[in-house]
Amino acid sequence: MNASPVPQPSPAAPAGPRDGRRLRVLAAMSGGVDSAVAAARAAEAGHDVTGVHLALSANPQSFRTGARGCCTIEDSRDARRAADVIGIPFYVWDLADRFRQDVVEDFVAEYAAGRTPNPCLRCNEKIKFAALLDKALALGFDAVCTGHYATVVLREDGSRELHRATDMAKDQSYVLGVLDERQLAHAMFPLGDTRTTKDEIRAEAEARGLAVAKKPDSHDICFIADGDTQGFLSRHLGTSDGDILDEDGSKVGTHTGAYGYTIGQRKGLRLGVPAPDGKPRYVLDISPVDNTVTVGPSEALDVTALTGIKPRWCGTPPTGPGTYTAQLRAHGGETEVSAEFADGELRVAFAEPVRGVAPGQAIVLYDGSRVVGSATIATTERARPAVPSSS
């Protein structure tokens, strides 16, 4: 059965749980410009807004380096100053232990198992729209407001759907694909339904007197402030010398930890033996069991199908096979797929082979602009089998 037609947003179906009522809104304020403007817009819309900064690190740095990291003391102070300018109450909530357990430790464990996780999805699922939302509802708040670029559409039957942001260039629906309908009913994304560039958001922040107007964006994993993911993993997992093999099983190099590689990686392999055809080689497989990394030609990366586990549906789960588009990384494009949810697994076939797909990543399905749901990639099938592996 094909996916249902996409309902279009309308004035009667604004972003978030707004239906004309004055809501008690908890605005998650990271200390950046997006969340500050989102909180200001929610307050300007007439809602009773309280700002909260999440302390996610047990040992926050006093100052960030460039645009790396977040959740520092500096960020907390920036968020507080923004709340003061907006004129809303402000608090700091300590969720460091929960973040360490659900996001950081999960990240390390996934890499140790040879998978490539996305910590932003896990944070949205476990922290911002689970721990934070649950606490907000227990305190009597109606909604959690964030600076994500996405849109919640209210249907005539009262159900809600998650859609891409109006501006595709800033769309962040991929990292929100883990939200279920209950969470969407209490989510508010004031930036998602407006066609404004980031420069215009900064101009709006400046016009509102928000000092974060010119603050640089954070593009890195927030708990790896220096951007050195391999160094972070080495500190947590240690080093373990192993072999880099070609498709025939011949040794072509060595490494100090299989966890430091990702499927499709080309740079940093430091191979001692060149390929017979002289062409670049890419990581095809990571085996934590025997601590080996297998490399081969780019065409061996072509993936034709995959199986996803731990599905999360942004509404009613689909029934029967359907045709969708899929996004495989936060800043990636869409690709046409056929998919079916059966026996607790999501089975996906690609219309055209894709590359750079690895176990542990998230696949998010779309029906037009609507986010259908997401799943964690467990296994992949390749057009050209490389070596016996779990990927």
pLDDT in tens, 247-287: 999 999 999 999 989 999 999 898 988 888 889 999 999 99
Kindly state the tokens that stand for 254: 């060595």
Whole-number pLDDT of residue 276:
86
How far, in Å, CA of 146 to CA of 137, rounded? 15
Q: Are 245 and 292 in contact (CB under 8 A)?
A: yes
Residue 133 confidence (pLDDT): 95
Domain ranges of the chain: 24-214, 239-297, 302-382
Q: Which residue has the tokens 């951007």?
A: 227
Q: How confident is the model at residue 20 (pLDDT cuts 50, 70, 90)?
A: low
Q: Report the alpha-carbon distance of residue 54 to residue 311 in Å, rounded.
A: 27
For every residue of 49-92, DSSP letters joined together read: EEEEEEE--SS--SS--TT----SHHHHHHHHHHHHHHT--EEE
Q: What is the DSSP letter of 106?
A: H
Residues near 194 by Cβ (< 8 Å), separated by ≥ 6? 166, 167
Q: Are 348 and 326 in contact (CB under 8 A)?
A: yes
Is residue 118 within 8 Å of residue 129, measured between CB atoms?
Answer: no
Average pLDDT over residues 369-383: 95
Spatial separation of the C-alpha atoms in residues 367 and 163, rounded to whole Å: 9
Q: Is the pLDDT of residue 317 over 90?
A: no
Q: Cβ(143)–Cβ(26) under 8 Å?
A: yes
The CATH code belonging to domain 302-382 is 2.40.30.10
Tell me what the mean pLDDT of segment 31-44 comes to: 96
Catalytic-role residue among 70, 120, 123, 145: 123
Residue 70 annotated to the active site = no
**What pLDDT was estimated at residue 198?**
86
Is 59 a residue whose pLDDT tops 80? no
The pLDDT value given to residue 168:
87
| pLDDT score recorded for residue 73 | 81
Q: Which one of the listed residues 71, 145, 222, 314 is annotated catalytic?
A: 222
What CATH topology corresponds to 239-297? Answer: SH3 type barrels. (2.30.30)
Query: What pLDDT score was predicted for residue 68?
Result: 47
pLDDT at 141 over 70: yes
* 292 neighbors 244 (Cβ within 8 angstroms): yes
Residue 294 confidence (pLDDT) above 60: yes
Residue type, 18: R
Contacts of 258 (CB under 8 A, 6+ apart): 114, 240, 242, 286, 287, 288, 291, 292, 293
**Which residues, in sequence order, are CB contacts of 295 under 8 Å at separation 6+?**
244, 245, 246, 247, 252, 253, 269, 271, 281, 282, 283, 284
Tell me the pLDDT band of 106, cut-offs 50, 70 and 90.
Answer: very high
Asked if residues 32 and 212 have their Cβ atoms less than 8 Å apart, the reply is: yes
DSSP, collapsed to helix, strand or coil, labels residue 157 as: coil
The total number of residues written for the chain in this structure: 391
Instruction: Give pLDDT, residue 61.
Output: 59
Global pTM exceeds 0.85: yes
Looking at CATH, the fold of the domain delimited by 24-214 is given as: Rossmann fold (3.40.50)
Q: pLDDT averaged over the chain?
A: 88
Is the pLDDT reported for residue 184 higher than 70? yes
pLDDT for residue 352 is more than 90: yes
Q: How open is the CA angle 20-25-28, to the nearest 5 degrees?
A: 140
61-94 pLDDT, tens digit each: 543 444 444 567 888 999 999 999 999 999 999 9
Average pLDDT on 338-358 reads: 95
CA distance 302 to 323: 20
Instruction: Assign 102 a pLDDT band (cuts: 50, 70, 90).
Output: very high
* Closest listed residue to residue 173, CA positions, set 373, 378, 356, 375: 373
pLDDT above 50 (res 3): no
Catalytic annotation on 222?
yes
Q: Supply the pLDDT for residue 313.
A: 95
